[in-house]
Structure 1
Amino acid sequence: MSNRTLALCRAAPYGSALAREGIEAVLASAAMEQDIDLLFLGDGIFQLLDNQAPEAIGQKSLRRNLKALPMFGVEELYVCQSSLEERGILPEQIQIPGAEVTLVEKPGELIAAYQCVLSF
Structure 2
Amino acid sequence: MAKRTLALCRQAPYGSALAREGLEAVLAAAAMDQAPDLLLLRDGAFQLLGDQSPEGIGQKSLQRNLLALPMFGVERVYVCERSLMERGIDAKRIEIPGVKVELVLDTGSFIAAYDTVLSF
Q: Shorter-chain TM-score: what band?
A: over 0.9
Indicate the residue corresponding to 1:10 in structure 2: 10
8 Å contact from structure 2 (residues 27, 35) kept in 1: no
Q: What CA distance in whole angstroms lies between the structure 2 residues aligned with 1:112 and 1:51? A: 32
Q: What CA distance in whole angstroms lies between the structure 2 residues aligned with 1:89 and 1:59? A: 22
Extract structure 1 runs of 4+ deviating beyond 4 A: none
Matched, 1:63 2:67: no
SS in 2 for 1:85: helix
Q: What TM-score does the superposition give when structure 2 sets the normalisation length?
A: 0.97
Indicate the residue corresponding to 1:88 in structure 2: 88
How many angstroms does 1:3 deviate by?
A: 1.7
Q: How does 1:95-106 map to 2 (within 5 A)?
A: 95-106=95-106
8 Å contact from structure 1 (residues 77, 99) kept in 2: yes
Aligned-residue Cα RMSD (Å) equals 1.1
Q: Deviations over 1:49-103 (max 9, x none)?
A: 0110000000000000010011101110101000000001111111111000100
Q: Which runs of 5+ in 1 are unaligned?
A: none
Q: What CA distance in whole angstroms lies between the structure 2 residues aligned with 1:72 and 1:44? A: 21
SS in 1 for 2:77: strand
How many angstroms does 1:2 deviate by?
A: 6.4
Q: What CA distance in whole angstroms lies between the structure 2 residues aligned with 1:84 and 1:36? A: 22
Using a 3 Å threshold, how does the CA distance of structure 1 residues 80 and 2 change in structure 2: closer, same or farther? farther
Matched, 1:19 2:8: no
8 Å contact from structure 2 (residues 8, 38) kept in 1: yes
Q: Deviations over 1:89-119 (max 9, x none)?
A: 1111111110001000001111000000001
User: What number of residue pairs does the alignment pair up?
Assistant: 120
Q: Which runs of 5+ in 2 are unaligned?
A: none
Q: What TM-score does the superposition give when structure 1 sets the normalisation length?
A: 0.97
SS in 2 for 1:77: strand
